Amino acid sequence: MTKRALISVSDKTGVVEFAQALSARGWEVLSTGGTFAALSAAGVPVRAVSDVTGFPEMMDGRVKTLHPAVHGGILARRGTAHMDELAGQGFGTIDLVCVNLYPFRETVARGAPDADVIENIDIGGPAMIRSAAKNHEGVLVLVDPADYAVALQDEVPAAERRRLAAKAYRHTSEYDAAITAYLEGASDVLPTKLPDALTLNLTKAAEVRYGENPHQPGAIYRWGAARGPVLDARVVAGKPMSFNNYADADAAWALCQDLAAQEQAAGTDGAVCVAVKHANPCGVAVADTVTGAWERARDADTLSVFGGVVAVSRAVDFAAAQAMRGTFLEVLIAPDVTPDAVEWFAQKKPDLRVLIAGPEQNVSVLDVRPLTGGFAVQERDARPWDDLCPEVVTERQPTEQEWADLRFAWGVVKGARSNAVVLAKEGVTVGLGAGAVSRIWAAERAVANAGERAQGAVLSSEAFFPFDDVVRLAAAAGVTAILQPGGAKRDPEVIAACNELGLSMVFTGSRHFRH
């Protein structure tokens, strides 16, 4: 009996060659719509599905394969009474289903009108894929051109058929998840609110040698159709990225972009450099040039920046590349890197991974964190400085420079792990205390890190002050202005301490815990 293959694909990669190979092996090829036209034009012997069903394609192609001649041929269990029923209706078997689906996600991503998006919800395709996958013992199901060669084997093992069936169900599951997200009100294919049911539609985007430690397997996954600056960055020099490199580079780039947007909103628009260690900032600075910003960020904490990850907000040129000569870094990520800088990095710092940031598109606003047996989900903390209503609560007003430094320090502390305190002066961090289990310990670490540089600096805390101890510590170190959320029971005592010591204090009314 002649075997029959039904081929109907949106992604036509390799489909002509595949159909030609099947035909050469004696298969009868059935097809629909655009695939039928493409195969016919290439000279492949192909039969229209409408000839098999006895009905023309209807409703602009919405109805063409939803017919017993198609689904009966796919679902009939070989070697059972199903075959007699099939023959009694004059139908034959379909032994291979090669289908991939309408480009729903791509249609959403290009901003198409709602009517076009809805029209790109495939109905017949998923039905055929699921039918073939259910009956995979007798029917091969292919949803990926990478698997076409499997079908050309003389005999496809049962384990391989089962793998292809699982892949097919994953294909339709991801497709349904994208449709669900869109119909629930997302502007793209990722959730933009907290739904009752959240599907984590993840596909492997990159291989890594291991996770955080060598004994932990790890990989990098993409959520839906999202594109991210680190996930889709181009590595233009250096070694492949590690698991920790991805995590640190993502943290560095996010903070760098937040601060760059903050600078632009303030009308200063300086170059920003962020150095990160273990997802925490260790040196952050703003300057007129990338070279200047890098040198200031490096000098903010030369010890911690060693082996760190660095993000900059402007293109890295040859001068900036040379300025990094004496410091060992794991990753550098920038919006662009000049060719001479790339060549210099490749020759002089072959272990440094140099990344050109990719686009940030179709990104969910949700922050998803694993728990044992579940996930904690929240909207991302994306509140900008301009959304705050800073209130000076002390007798002394901040100077113009202190206001600029308070704004800068607030942007940095928002990107640091709690408890976090940042000291800054003239657009550079001079002391950071992050990830501390005690608020006063975070402040003590920041002050100790700053040393004499605390003189004339400002202090920002992501959490309020329940006591006046941080105020007195800061004043003793030479800090002149403090920014914190406010809202503690002892706020009057804290404000009184500032007035006693001659400090300015600003309440933001907005805390920024980051665990």
Supply the pLDDT for residue 461.
96
Domains 4-183 and 385-507 equal at CATH topology level? no
Supply the pLDDT for residue 29.
87
Question: What is the residue extent of each domain of the chain?
Answer: 4-183, 228-356, 385-507
pLDDT at 144 over 70: yes
pLDDT higher for 48 or 277?
A: 277
Measured distance CA(322)–CA(74) in Å, rounded: 64
Measured distance CA(177)–CA(166) in Å, rounded: 16
The length of the chain in residues reads 515
Supply the pLDDT for residue 487.
92
Please identify every residue annotated as catalytic: 134, 278
Measured distance CA(244)–CA(242) in Å, rounded: 5
- Helix axis angle for 243-266 and 400-414, nearest 10°, is 150
Map residue 341 onto helix, strand or coil: helix
Q: Per-residue pLDDT tens for 203-216? A: 889 999 999 999 99
Supply the pLDDT for residue 103.
82
Supply the pLDDT for residue 362.
67
When pLDDT is averaged across residues 164-189 and rounded to a whole number, the result is: 80
Which CATH fold topology does 4-183 show?
Rossmann fold (3.40.50)
Architecture of the domain defined by 228-356: 3-Layer(aba) Sandwich (3.40)
Supply the pLDDT for residue 199.
74
Rounded to the nearest integer, the mean pLDDT of the chain is 89
Q: Which H or E run includes 98? A: strand 96-100
| CA of residue 437 relative to chain centroid, distance | 29
pLDDT at 372 over 90: yes
User: What is the pLDDT confidence band of residue 427, given thresholds at 50, 70 and 90?
Assistant: very high
User: What is the pLDDT confidence band of residue 192, given thresholds at 50, 70 and 90?
Assistant: low
When pLDDT is averaged across residues 140-146 and rounded to a whole number, the result is: 91
Supply the pLDDT for residue 54.
67
Q: Per-residue pLDDT tens for 439-490? A: 999 999 999 999 999 999 999 999 999 999 999 999 999 999 999 999 999 9
Supply the pLDDT for residue 419.
93
Q: Per-residue pLDDT tens for 232-258? A: 999 999 999 999 999 999 999 999 999
- The distance in angstroms from the start CA to the end CA of the chain is 64
Supply the pLDDT for residue 58.
64
pLDDT at 188 over 60: no
The number of beta carbons lying within 10 Å of the beta carbon of residue 203 is 11
Reading the block at residue 190, the tokens are 């990722």
Supply the pLDDT for residue 244.
95
Supply the pLDDT for residue 189.
53
Lowest-confidence pick of 95-109, 184-198, 299-313, 413-427:
184-198
User: What is the pLDDT confidence band of residue 120, given thresholds at 50, 70 and 90?
Assistant: confident
Is the CATH number 3.10.450.50 carried by domain 385-507? no
Q: What is the 3-state secondary structure (H, E, C) of 285-313?
A: EEECCHHHHHHHHHHHCCCCCCCEEEEEC
Measured distance CA(120)–CA(109) in Å, rounded: 12
Supply the pLDDT for residue 253.
96
pLDDT at 130 over 80: yes
Measured distance CA(148)–CA(430) in Å, rounded: 59
Supply the pLDDT for residue 206.
92
| CA of residue 4 relative to chain centroid, distance | 41
Percent of the chain with pLDDT over 90: 57
Amino acid at 73: G
- Comparing CA positions, the residue from 144, 147, 123 lying closest to residue 65 is 123
Supply the pLDDT for residue 173.
87
Q: Per-residue pLDDT tens for 62-96? A: 666 677 777 788 888 877 887 777 777 777 778 89
